[in-house]
């Protein structure tokens, strides 16, 4: 997670009296995603963050598998997800297992009338198209195309988009999302050989304290259900906070590729890790520089992981007929590699402009009905000569 951050007004010592100018105590809240045993932040509210006035209907959001498991390569046209005005309604689960849910979304408008909290999972939101601001208890966090936005579970937030043209890839992780351990010092600093550093991490800023009473709708996702809770005060009433657990953004364009004389394995592209899956970034880079190097990726077995590749932009010499927003699924148990002819065509190439996000899960993924509706027919047999 990111390093220590402080915004607004906080007391000199934690868990001590901290009063407003009128003499009233601020309400201290400890926020952590792993109890009292990991990163945390301390937030100071104008009002107790526990005042719920009413509850509404509950909606079941649990995804269901739409087809028996099949050992075959598959492809999906992500841009066939139809834009929907509401942010939450636009989120469509495509693939899922017990460790993560992978969704596509094309929201057209800001979250104006409600706030959202995912109490089940950390969220990784990759912004394929669009820009805007994530408003939260921690302040405002601007984002643009190419950004990864990491939102710890339990964070109350709103998203404001700049316009209607937005495309998102969303990963809900039921374990914390972190930078890879091999790139971190024992004390949590990103090491010199890491493909990014703390300077690349964008933190919340512009903490705006809302002192409002009324009825504020908070939609909370818990155990796969969406609950509607009505708070008596504005959720963003924080006057200050500090700690190491908060939303942040990191641009895929700031990921520094690791290259070599011969083709490098996928782990060099790893950007984040979580329990039983990893997220990698394929970015523009120079190809291998051995005089007899083969730039195309070699065939590999996929024995222990399902591999999902989300194509963002650029030309992909290892695949035919790749379009923006396409998702390919290569399940564990069968090998995969470049399409026929791609290896020979790659020889002599000096660089690539490809941009993609890869998710490798170590437990098999299941497909939803929505995935089948956007599946590209014929991809399974596209390796035939």
Q: Give the per-residue pLDDT at 286.
A: 87
For 135-185, write each residue's pLDDT tens digit. Answer: 999 999 999 999 999 999 999 999 999 999 999 999 999 999 999 999 999
Fold type of domain 51-63+82-239+246-251: Jelly Rolls (2.60.120)
pLDDT at 68: 74
pLDDT at 381: 77
Q: What is the DSSP string of 296-331?
A: SPPPB--SS-EEEEEEEES--TTSSS--TTEEEEE-
Instruction: Please tell me the total number of residues recorded for the chain in this structure.
Output: 385
- In angstroms, what is the C-alpha Rg of the chain? 22
* The pLDDT value given to residue 385: 56
The residues of the chain scoring below 50 in pLDDT are: none
Where would I find the beta strands (DSSP E) of 195-299?
201-202, 213-222, 225-233, 238-243, 248-251, 270-274, 277-282, 285-286
**End-to-end alpha-carbon separation of the chain, Å?**
46
pTM equals: 0.95
Share of the chain above pLDDT 90, in %: 74
| Region(s) of the chain under CATH 2.60.120.10 | 51-63+82-239+246-251, 253-381
CA 5 from centre of chain: 21
Look at residue 320 in the predicted model and tell me its pLDDT. Answer: 67
Burial classification of residue 68, based on how many CB atoms lie within 10 Å of its CB (0-12 exposed, 13-18 middle, 19 or more buried): exposed
CATH code for residues 253-381: 2.60.120.10
Strands (E), 114-234: 115-118, 122-129, 132-136, 139-143, 147-151, 156-161, 167-173, 201-202, 213-222, 225-233
Structure tokens at 54: 């009413």
Q: Which two tokens stand for residue 176?
A: 């914390």
pLDDT at 38: 87
């Amino acid at each position: 997670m990111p390093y220590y951050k402080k915004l607004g007004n906080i007391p000199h010592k934690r868990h001590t009296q901290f009063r407003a100018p009128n003499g009233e105590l601020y309400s201290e809240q400890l926020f952590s995603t792993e109890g009292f045993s990991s990163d945390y932040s301390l937030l100071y509210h104008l009002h107790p963050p526990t005042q719920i006035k009413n509850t509404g209907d509950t909606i079941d959001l649990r995804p269901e598998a739409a087809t028996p498991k099949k050992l075959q390569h598959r492809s999906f046209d992500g841009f066939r997800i139809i834009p929907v005005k509401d942010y939450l309604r636009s989120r469509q689960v495509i693939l899922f297992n017990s460790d993560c849910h992978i969704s596509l979304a094309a929201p057209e408008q800001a979250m104006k009338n409600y706030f959202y909290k995912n109490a089940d999972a950390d969220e990784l939101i990759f912004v394929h198209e669009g820009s805007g601001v994530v408003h939260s208890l921690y302040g405002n966090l601007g984002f643009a195309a190419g950004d990864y936005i990491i939102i710890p579970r339990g964070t109350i937030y709103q998203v404001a988009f700049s316009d209607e043209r937005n495309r998102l890839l969303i990963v809900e992780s039921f374990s914390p999302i972190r930078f890879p351990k091999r790139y971190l010092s024992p004390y949590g600093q990103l090491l010199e050989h890491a493909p990014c550093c703390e300077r690349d991490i964008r933190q919340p800023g512009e903490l705006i304290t809302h002192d409002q009473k009324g009825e504020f709708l908070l939609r909370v996702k818990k155990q796969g259900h969406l609950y509607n809770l009505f708070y008596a005060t504005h959720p963003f009433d924080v006057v200050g906070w500090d700690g190491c657990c908060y939303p942040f953004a990191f641009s895929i364009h700031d990921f520094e590729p690791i290259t070599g004389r011969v083709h490098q394995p996928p782990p060099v592209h790893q950007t984040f890790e979580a329990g039983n899956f990893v997220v990698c970034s394929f970015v523009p880079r120079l190809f291998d520089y051995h005089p007899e190097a083969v730039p195309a990726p070699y065939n590999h077995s996929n024995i222990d992981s399902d591999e999902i590749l989300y194509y963002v932009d650029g030309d992909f010499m290892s695949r035919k007929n790749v379009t923006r927003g396409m998702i390919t699924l290569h399940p564990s148990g069968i090998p995969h590699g470049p399409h026929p002819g791609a290896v020979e065509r790659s020889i002599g190439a000096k660089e690539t402009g490809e941009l993609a996000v890869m998710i490798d899960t170590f437990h098999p993924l299941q497909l939803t009905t929505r995935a089948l509706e956007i599946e590209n027919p014929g991809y399974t047999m596209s390796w035939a000569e």
